[in-house]
Structure 1
Amino acid sequence: MTSKWLRATGLRAPRSEILIKYGEQREEAEMPLRHGIDSWRCDRCGHDATLLAGLFDLGAASKIARRRGSCRPRGKRAVEISQVRYFLAVAKELNFTRAAEQCNVTQPALSRAIKLLEDEFGGALFHRERRFTHLTEPGRMVETYLEGVFENSRQAKQIAEQYVNLKRMPLRLGIMSTIAPDEIIELIAAVRGHHPGVELHLCDSDAVNLRKRLLEGDLEAAIYALPSDVPDEEVHALPLFREQMVMAVHLAHRLANQRVVRVKDMSNESYIHRNNCEFAGYADAILAQQGVTVSPVYWSDRDDWTLAMIAAGLGFGFMPEHTAKHPGVVGLPITEPEFWRDVNLVTVRGRKHSPAVGALVREATQKKWFGERAKALSAAE
């Protein structure tokens, strides 16, 4: 019975994707089957034939197109999500009245939506009998596809709502590895406490690499310092705090008892080079201008190792004052000239940012950095 009915209507089981062209019907056998609703339009008159991918063969599709008569205006092809929802409700309840109640619409409205859906697919999806409503063969065939369409739509809506309402929003944040970790932990805790929907994805690196990743879109925001005499026009920098650079030496060093140390006093000292130091290259030029030379003896990616080597008397380090905290190490402020780093919360200028970035900005500006309010907030007051 089923096969006879299929032959009579020109329908057959899914086999391949169909392309409709009046006067030039052909089958795109090489194209992969897509599980979804596709539309094709007549090249001659613009007539629209919307089919379920893979459901109809060429003969049936052309008959459907001819049955429609006149062309429909462009832009009016649509299988709406509400129609899909109504179809699935009727397929579940097998009763139009109960399905309408479940969807919170009137039965006539639901019936019209189902009829429009059937018009789109070119045939009845339900046998409408007084006591026994049930799916037709095409109805059973499209049900699985439409369930997938509806579920994907529901998930997309849920993700969008979570994003807008900050219920669940990832934020990719880069942190300069030379910033004291205690301050960053306080910021993370504040974001987590006041905005539990923000999921922080943290990475640490040197300032140059963070800026590069920020501009490339790998990061949404970054906290770093890059000393320069030229403003960076590609980014927006929100000042957080300033920190003086010091000469870190062991307690028995010849300069350890001085209150400050001049740049000239560093000459001929053994130096432990911090590979991630943001002043690398910048400070070298200043030392060269004053005729100061130092002898690098070790190179380290990690500040804790650098501090341990300083404490052992292996050389001095050029470090931020709040990083130079270690037993057996003293930090001496550098003068003539002084070196300061300005640490900023950086975003790309002109780029549209998510609400999660806004939450981060609020917490970063409200936080006290090393006991002082953020520089941006202080300047605004």
Structure 2
Amino acid sequence: MQLQFHQVRYFLALARTLNFTRAAQECNVSQPALTKAVHKLEQELGSALIHRERHLTQLTELGKMILPTLEEIFAAAEAVRLQARSYQKKTVARLKIGLVPSVSAALITELLLELARIIPNLRVDLCEADASGLVTMLLNGEINAALVGDAVELPERIDRWPLFEERCVLVLSRKHPMARHTVIPLVDLQEVVFLERVGCDLAARFKQACFVNHPGPKVMHRSDQERYLQQMASAGFGAILAPEHAPRLPTLAAIPIEGDPVRRGVQLLAVAGRQYSPALDAFIKVARVRDWTDALHKLRRASAPASSNDKVSKAGAQGAGSLI
């Protein structure tokens, strides 16, 4: 069996759009050419990948099963092509990424390292803004991609790819009385003094989920700098609501809330129809096939308290992430 690169590319476009016309436009080929290539791919695999019934197009069970594998194959092949092209051009490959305050840069550092290995001249610019600000920056061409939560309305011109879902936890000093809890009861939240992260997209969801029948949360201190709030929490000024993945100071504990009432998804955004640079194209492909469950597990483990025989890692000591 010999798979052709263009056949895989056409099938992935069709799997994404479920429309032969739009898939052909996305691949810049005629619809008959795309249909013929997908049919040849089905012949190579010995079974149908696409089921067409009038105007309805769906993946078959085989199509659904092999889709992740073909995405990985395509991403790897693109990475090789990009590396060769980069070597020939010897030009700086710029990648500008925006993050909302509730998404830590620690989430994408390993991903960016993967890209840097295949793009030696990669230059990454990171910036932070709220979701609406990042969407505006995307449309204006100030950034190439953005990672935001799922509680934001997006214009049709923005493409989105869900990456993962996670719970939020209460972050407080290890000397705080509640730090001894394994789970924070919902009723106890009414007594907590909170430190609020200005512009965080989790605040409204937290209030709706945990304080619908009670006034609150009780916010006493605010800042637009995460490190300031972590230092204040460490000193005992209050608690922070943060995504579970967010790295934190070793003097802080992260305690789950009863019933995990605050959960959110993280999605990757880019402008639809805009030509991707090789660096952006590789970033999107690698992000979409990444094992985010494993990545989140590593971050949580890195933020866990060190044992008496271990040294505190620099990543945990510096901290990064988001707060309400």
TM-score bracket for the superposition, by shorter chain length: 0.5 to 0.7
Q: Deviation per CA, 1:172-211: give whole Å up to 9, x if none.
A: 2223344333333222222111123443333233333212
Kindly provide the CA deviation profile for residues 65-112 of structure 1, in whole angstroms up to 9, marking residues without a partner as x: xxxxxxxxxxxxxxxxxxxxxxxxxxxxxxxxxxxxxxxxxxxxxxxx
- Asked whether the 8 Å contact 1:268–1:293 carries over to 2, the reply is no
Where in structure 2 are there 5+ consecutive unaligned residues?
1-84, 297-324
- Give the structure-1-normalised TM-score: 0.49
Cα distance in 2 for partners of 1:296, 1:197 equals 45
Corresponding residue to 1:343 among 261, 266, 276? 266
CA contact (8 A) 1:249 1:256 kept: yes
Match of 2:279 among 356, 366, 370: 356
Structure 1 contact 167–197 (Cα < 8 Å) conserved: yes
* Partners of 2:134 and 2:87 in 1: CA distance: 25
Distance in 2 between residues matched to 1:254 and 1:162, nearest whole Å: 55
Equivalences for 1:317-328 in 2 at 5 Å? Answer: 317-323=240-246, 325-328=248-251
Asked whether the 8 Å contact 2:101–2:200 carries over to 1, the reply is no
**Alpha-carbon distance in structure 1 between the residues aligned to 2:127 and 2:90:** 21
Residues 266-311 of structure 1 show CA distances to partners (whole Å, capped at 9, x for unaligned) of 1132111111422133323334413142321111112222111111
- Once residues 273 and 209 of structure 1 are traced to their aligned partners in structure 2, the CA distance between those partners, rounded to angstroms, is 19
TM-score (ref. length: structure 2): 0.57
User: Paired residue for 2:140?
Assistant: 216
Mapped to 2, the partners of 1:270 and 1:178 lie a distance apart of: 20
The Cα shift of 1:316 comes to: 0.9
Query: Matched residues in 1 for 2:293 and 2:234: separation?
Result: 24
Distance in structure 2 (CA, Å) of the matches to 1:275 and 1:372: 27
Checking the alignment, whether the CA contact within 8 Å between 1:271 and 1:317 is kept in structure 2 is: yes
> Which of the two has greater helix per residue?
2
1:191 maps to which residue? 115
Identity %: 25
Distance 1:254 1:348 in 2: 47
1:316 aligns with 2:260: no
The reply to whether residue 300 of structure 1 matches residue 184 of structure 2 is no
Q: Is the 8 A contact 1:239 1:345 kept in 2?
A: yes
Distance in 1 (CA, whole Å) between partners of 2:113 and 2:267 is: 19
CA distance in 2, matches of 1:316, 1:356: 39
C-alpha contact (below 8 Å) 1:243/1:341 kept by paired residues: yes
1:237 matched to 2:164? The reply is: no
Aligned length: 213
Distance 2:121 2:200 in 1: 34
CA separation of 1:326 and 1:169: change in aligned 2, threshold 3 A: closer
Structure 1: runs of 5 or more not aligned: 1-160, 374-381
Kindly indicate whether structure 1 or structure 2 has the higher relative contact order, using CA contacts under 8 Å at least 6 residues apart: 2
The structure that has the greater radius of gyration is: 1
User: Displacement, 1:346?
Assistant: 0.8
State the partner residue of 1:246: 169
- Are the equivalent residues in 1 in contact too, given 2:149–2:266 (CA < 8 A)? yes
Secondary structure at the counterpart of residue 209 of structure 2? helix
2:131 corresponds in structure 1 to 207
Q: Partner residue of 1:282?
A: 205
8 Å CA contact 1:242–1:341 kept in 2: the answer is yes
Alignment of 1:1-381 (within 5 A): 167-228=91-152, 233-323=156-246, 325-336=248-259, 338-369=261-292, 371-372=294-295
1:216 corresponds to which letter in structure 2?
Answer: N
Whether contact under 8 Å (2:158, 2:269) holds in the other structure is yes
Distance 1:367 1:200 in 2: 19
Residue 14 (structure 2) aligns with: none
